[in-house]
Structure 1
Amino acid sequence: MRIIGLTGGIATGKSTVVNMLRARGAWIIDCDILAREAVAPGSSCLADIARHFGEKALLPDGTMDRAYIGSIVFADPARKKELEGIIFPQIHKLLSERIDHFRKKDENCLIFLDMPLLYELKYTSYVDEVWLVYVDPAAQLKRLMARNQYTESEALARIHAQLPIDEKRSLAQVVIDNTGSLESTEEQVDKEWNELRNRVWSEE
């Protein structure tokens, strides 16, 4: 079994690469889904968030008001850290459960942790290597503004809440450059996927 951290920056196109890897047989753990499970209605985690951020943190249906929370934490690093201190321990618990589940199904599986904040959470010690989905910073800003209809300042606030994409690039073992065409990205994924499998087989 190998655990690979798959990360990127906001609006770098990581989901595109995830779909390509899944089609090739990779096991994917989506940490955004785990984050939503962590704050499910009725959970102790969501109750803690409501205590720390007020009743406005909850929508009428009992789910977390992500827009409201986002407006707070992206403008205040201290509140962001406070939120992370509530959510991250529960995400870590759920992640460990998923890895154990896959290990029991297939001891030789290749698991990719789809984790946008892998470096920010200092999760690199839990993975065998890191793959980064990269686009240059100018393209990242343009894509995020177009995708979410953000102003430039709104988009930059979200980008700056993460480690700079070029810094992540210097730390990753594998870089998939998603700045160009879909065909170019797929060629890179093919190459790296085959090389990964060859590395794993040669070690067995």
Structure 2
Amino acid sequence: MFIVAITGGIATGKSTVSQVFLDNGIPVVDADKIAREIVQPGTTCWHKIRQVFGDEILLPTKEINREALGTAIFSDKQLRGKLNQITHPVIHRKIFLQVCKHFMSGRSWIVLDLPLLFETEILMEFIYKIITVACDSETQLTRLMQRNEYSTEDAKKRIEAQMPLDKKCEQSHFVIDNSGSIEATKEAALRIVQLMNDSKHHWRNRVTLLGILLGLGLVIYYLNRIFNIIPNSVTLTE
């Protein structure tokens, strides 16, 4: 199995691209979805966030008010760091477990939807190809303001808190420009799906893993023989 990662900036259209992969039968591990699950009322992360930020960031339902929390962390870098310390280890652990699950199921390849891929560098050494979904800065700002009803200042804070898009694009294997129509974006994503389906990289990975397992098996076998032979070859004299 090999891994393809999707990243980009806030409001650049990552979800649109991920949906293309899902529609074509490719499993997608969504970091944002996991991030929402781990802060549900009563979870360990929920208790820790409540302790740090107070009840002011809770809705009447006891769920975390994501808008209030976002306003707090994007206005204070230290608070953003504290939130990351609470949530990131849990998110990364769950991502790793889902990847292992798909590997054991015999999948040829999967997709990780990781908005902060370059910032956190999670699983970078295991990722075969990286896709960055980008758009021009004006389009990104407008979409974010319309989608979340942010002021210009709030939207800019959220964009500037992330790694610049041009740097992400420089480090990617594919860049999907989502400045235009949704149809054009989907077509670009579909071309990548077809390329990955045609790839034989998953066979190379499985052969490599098989070689490692065989090597470990031989080491264990010979160590077992050594430790079994040595005691039998020693004679005790009175």
Same fold (TM over 0.5): yes
Which structure 2 residues correspond to residues 55-94 of structure 1 after superposition, within 5 A?
A: 55-94=55-94
Q: Which amino acid aligns with 1:122?
A: E
1:170 alignment counterpart: 170
Shift of 1:59: 2.5
2:117 match: secondary structure: coil
1:139 alignment counterpart: 139
Which structure 2 residues correspond to residues 22-101 of structure 1 after superposition, within 5 A?
A: 22-101=22-101
TM-score where L is the length of structure 2: 0.80
Shift of 1:203: 5.2
Q: Which amino acid aligns with 1:111?
A: I
Q: Which runs of 5+ in 1 are unaligned?
A: none
* CA deviation profile, 1:144-173 (whole Å, cap 9, x unmatched): 112222221111011011111111111111
Instruction: Check whether the contact 1:27–1:109 (CA below 8 A) recurs between aligned residues.
Output: no
Shift of 1:29: 1.0
Shift of 1:23: 1.4
1:41 match: secondary structure: coil
Distance 1:201 1:5, change over 3 A: closer
Q: Which runs of 5+ in 2 are unaligned?
A: 205-238
* CA deviation profile, 1:122-155 (whole Å, cap 9, x unmatched): 2223422211111111211121112222221111
Q: Which stretch of structure 1 is more off in the superposition, 70-79 or 109-118?
A: 109-118
* CA deviation profile, 1:25-81 (whole Å, cap 9, x unmatched): 211111111101211211111111111112223333222121221111011111101
TM-score where L is the length of structure 1: 0.92
Q: Which has more radius of gyration?
A: 2
2:162 match: secondary structure: coil
Aligned length: 203
2:183 and 2:68 map into 1 onto residues whose CA distance is 38
Q: Which amino acid aligns with 1:44?
A: T
Q: CA RMSD in A?
A: 1.7
Q: Flag the structure with higher helix content.
A: 2
Instruction: Check whether the contact 2:2–2:202 (CA below 8 A) recurs between aligned residues.
Output: no
Q: Which portions of structure 1, spanning 4 or more consecutive aligned residues, are displaced by more than 4 angstroms?
A: 201-204
Q: Which amino acid aligns with 1:120?
A: E
2:119 alignment counterpart: 120
1:129 match: secondary structure: strand
2:120 match: secondary structure: coil
1:29 match: secondary structure: strand
